[in-house]
Structure 1
Amino acid sequence: MAAVHRLTNGVRVVCDPIPGLETAALCVVAGRGARYEDGARSGWSHLLEHMVFKGAGARSAMEIVEAIEAQGGQINAATGYERTSFQVRCLTGGLDLGSAVLADLVLAPRMDAGDLAREKQVVGQEIAEAADTPDDLVFEMAQAAAYGDQPLGRSILGTTGSIASADPTSLSDWRACLYDPQSLVVSAAGAVDEAALLALAERDFGGARPPATGAPAAPPAIFTGGEAVSAKALEQANLVFLLPSVGVSDPDYFALRLFAEILGGGMASRLFQEAREKRGLAYAVDAYSETYADQGVLGVFAGCAAKDAVELAKVAAGEIAGLGQSVGEAELARAKAQLKGAMFMMRESPLARAEQTAAQLLLFDRPLPPAEIAAGIEAVRPADLARLGAAMCASGRAAVSVLGPRQAGPAAQAFTRALFARA
């Protein structure tokens, strides 16, 4: 079981040794991200993640990556709606440097005006690239349709207008709020010693101080739903269907994960068999769940010929409704095996394990033992999936995005009409 400690300033430290490894992963995870932004600061958390790599502590941008790579390590970062993570993978003995570098990134980045101007250009190119990538853009369209002008409805990247307003001082103030020590978790897994990790965390993160202005709070999310249809000259239509569901702390969380697995999680799933194997409507079709602290969504993505988009939308609606009415014991058992298999396979990666443990600490204030998670998965019954499916179908709310040839546009209304007429 991973051991958890709390420094006097609130930073939590978790150590999860994995015997027999010659590598370790160290993550510094802040329990805040793009969901904590107002409209004027949309994209600032992601911009900040870029900026800290331009120079931090006594190291320049080049010296940061050179120092890690010279010891055979790798360094990376990611911004999400509810968390921001900085990660180092290293060989045995590399945690000392890794901890020092990550502490500089999180607590002592330089905020040079010239670097910021250049990085705004880089992020602007990233925004443009996402807009030019259909299977990225269609998900952003669906997210906006689901949550409107709430933080969860806005792109994590922000807009060129919103990031333009950031200056070194305001971005530094945002860093202090975002990476408040009360929200920080230092998590290590792999070839790591608990006493050594705790000493490094105290050395590098024990001096972190809370922001002078107080930390921001995330507003409650309201799934409003709607349609987003954009005609574009593409070879395929890209479709996303979202339904409101439960959050990660809800008792039905595992029911949602299993619902998505049965619906479209693999080659034996209902959508794959019906839409692709039997009807040949799509090459790519899958279902997934996206969960936040307080709520989540069931999602379906598909890419198909424009002429097949309406029929595919009806098939997706039919499979969701059908799964909500009847789930077989055999397919539920298969889904449980798949979900547990994915969980245990992930735990063989030190980086995934360190990230998962940090997320659990931020959400539940404790690591969740694998046996407890497995028991939660096994406890789900067909009646739980039926209840969850009925609730989603009875909500009367969906977010649908369609991107591609004009002929595919009616798929949005076809989905909602087919699904809610069955409720």
Structure 2
Amino acid sequence: MTPKVHTLGNGVRVVCDPLPGWQTVALSVVAGRGARFEDAGRSGWSHLLEHMVFKGAGGRSARDIVEAIEAEGGHINAATGYERTSFQVRALRGGLDLGSAVIADLVQRPTMDAADLAREKQVVGQEIAEAADTPDDLVFELAQAAAFDGQPLGRPILGTTKSIKGATPETLGAWRAALYAPGSLIVSAAGAVDEDELLKLAERDFGGAGAPGVGDPEPAAFVGGTRTVAKRLEQANVVLLLPAVGVMDPDYFALRLLAEILGGGMASRLFQEAREKRGLAYAIDAYSETYADAGALGVFAGCDAKDAAELAQVTVDEIRGLTEPVGAAELARAKAQLKGAMFMGRESALARAEQAAGQVLLFGRTLDPVAVAEEVDAVTAEQLAALTAKILAPKKAAVAILGPKPALAAADVFHEALTA
């Protein structure tokens, strides 16, 4: 059954996905707002806020919050992205009441103590430093900055030590009220959940009036460019991005299939050509990164510095090769892999709750997984070829390389091969 969507009087939407026979329940409260909605001065505030609400809320201390959930056999977590912030509880059957109450306190009644905020800025500062010291984190940040230069999508979700320094309990509290406003909230539960119970709890915990929310962000624009950092490492970390379509575009599933064929698995073109045939890289993957109105086709590889230029050329060649229709067997394999990942992902109650919340945020409804699989099956080889040509047409790319200096020249090779 496709879960129904209910809307409370203040605009909060509620989704229930009961799974008969399950002994656990997952609750996800998702705000359709994140780092993309920040201006430069508040960069990283959404992530900092997600940390801060766990320091104390609704009369519970930081320790009380986790102990209350764990005492009932549950787990609590949260995550901040560019376009959404999610609070999650997994619990045993019967744990929905407590989980809903705790998350409601986090979202609506955090303590925001000044001393806690000062300490948490230090913690987030260490998280920022850790990302800078981790090559396969930093290289993706560099690529993102090149792709969406000067825009919220081009800034790191963590922000910078300078940007988070300006947050005070008062200003962060005002940001919380706007970021987690009722109109952007989805309460989504899956597993051992009763719909009537969920609606009563949602009304009790999230049905109160709220402040106006944050407005929509400016449309994203893939501008492209190069970010290279010379560093003494054992291998070069390379990310190559091309402009693609957003999650709401009719070609969304074609993009997913394109990434699968290009570098989604061991049978993919890049894995076979770059690793198996040429031995250029141990790890090489292609992926799609999609937002509401924009997206990118990406390739990540770790390689010897001396092989980076050849790897860049091979990547362009393999992408260009997809302007010709792929064979029936190759397309069928990609479809099977994509559908397999989709259906296997639904075997987790939390994944189902999160997926439903994301669909409601984007489309205002949940999607029938069988109908989605049919959309995947409907993609043609000609559609993939046309999408590849569309991606290549602007001759724009974002290239990030982190590693030994000889590898950095691969950025120019990729750009030149792309525009040739």
SS at match of 2:285: strand
Task: Quote the Cα distance in structure 2 between the aligned partners of 1:406 and 1:315.
Answer: 20
Give the count of matched residue pairs. Answer: 419
Distance across 1 between alignment mates of 2:339 and 2:74: 30
The question of whether the paired residues in 2 share the 8 Å contact of 1:325 and 1:390 is answered with no
The residue that corresponds to 2:224 in the other structure is 225
Alignment of 1:377-416 (within 5 A): 377-416=376-415
Distance in 2 separating the partners of 1:410 and 1:388 = 29
Paired with 2:45 and 2:294, the residues of 1 have a C-alpha distance of 24
Which residue of structure 2 lines up, in the alignment, with residue 420 of structure 1?
419
Measured on the aligned residues, the alpha-carbon RMSD in Å equals 0.7
1:325 Cα deviation after fit: 2.2
Give the structure 1 partner of residue 196 of structure 2.
195
CA contact (8 A) 1:394 1:420 kept: no
Cα distance, 1:417 vs. partner?
A: 1.4
Output the TM-score relative to the length of structure 2. Answer: 0.99
Counterpart for residue 267 of structure 1: 266
Instruction: Find the aligned partners of 1:67 and 1:338 in 2 and give their Cα distance.
Output: 40
Structure 2: distance between partners of 1:419 and 1:171: 44
Q: Which residue number in structure 2 is paired with residue 121 of structure 1?
A: 122
Rounded to whole Å, the distance in 2 between the matches of 1:419 and 1:165 is 42
Question: C-alpha offsets along residues 360-385 of structure 1, whole Å, 9 cap, x if unaligned?
Answer: 00000000000111111011000111
Structure 2 residue 352 is the aligned partner of structure 1 residue 353: yes
Equivalence for 1:37 = 38
SS at match of 1:409: helix
Indicate if the aligned counterparts of 2:146 and 2:224 stay in contact, CA closer than 8 A.
Answer: yes
C-alpha separation in 2, matches of 1:318 and 1:262: 14
Q: CA deviation at 1:404?
A: 0.1
Alpha-carbon shift at residue 326 of structure 1 (Å): 3.2
Question: Post-superposition shift, 1:215?
Answer: 2.3
2:19 is matched with 18
Distance 1:313 1:233, change over 3 A: same
Match of 1:280 in 2: 279
| Alignment partner, residue 145 of structure 1 | 146
Correspondence 1:185 to 2:186 = yes
- State the TM-score, normalizing by the size of structure 1: 0.98
1:264 partner letter = G
SS at the partner of 1:233?
Answer: coil
Q: Report the alpha carbon displacement of residue 18 of structure 1 after superposing the two structures with TM.
A: 1.3
- Equivalent pairs: percent with the same residue? 72
Flag structure 1 segments of 5+ consecutive residues without an equivalent.
Answer: none
State the 1:313 CA deviation.
Answer: 0.7
CA apart distance, 1:210: 2.3
| Change in CA separation of 1:338 and 1:25 when aligned onto 2, cut-off 3 Å | same
Cα pair 2:37 2:214 within 8 Å, conserved: no
Contact 2:19 2:192 in 1 (8 A): yes
Q: Does 1:206 align with 2:207?
A: yes
1:85-124 superposed matches below 5 A: 85-124=86-125
Matched, 1:46 2:47: yes
Separation in structure 2 between the aligned mates of residue 304 and residue 191 of structure 1, nearest angstrom: 47
Task: Give 1:336 shift.
Answer: 0.4
What is the letter of the counterpart of residue 236 of structure 1?
Q
**Equivalent in the alignment of 2:63:** 62
How far did residue 81 of structure 1 move? 0.2
Q: SS state of the match for residue 322, structure 2?
A: helix
Q: Stretches of 4+ moved more than 4 A in 1?
A: none
Worse-superposed segment, 126-135 or 316-325: 316-325
> Deviation at 1:393?
1.2
C-alpha deviation, 1:216, in angstroms? 2.9
Measured after TM superposition, the shift of residue 278 of structure 1 is 0.6
Cross-structure match for 2:251: 252
Any idea what SS the aligned residue of 2:140 has?
helix
Provide structure 2 residue ranges, at least 5 long, that are not aligned to the other structure: none
Counterpart of 1:8 in structure 2 is 9
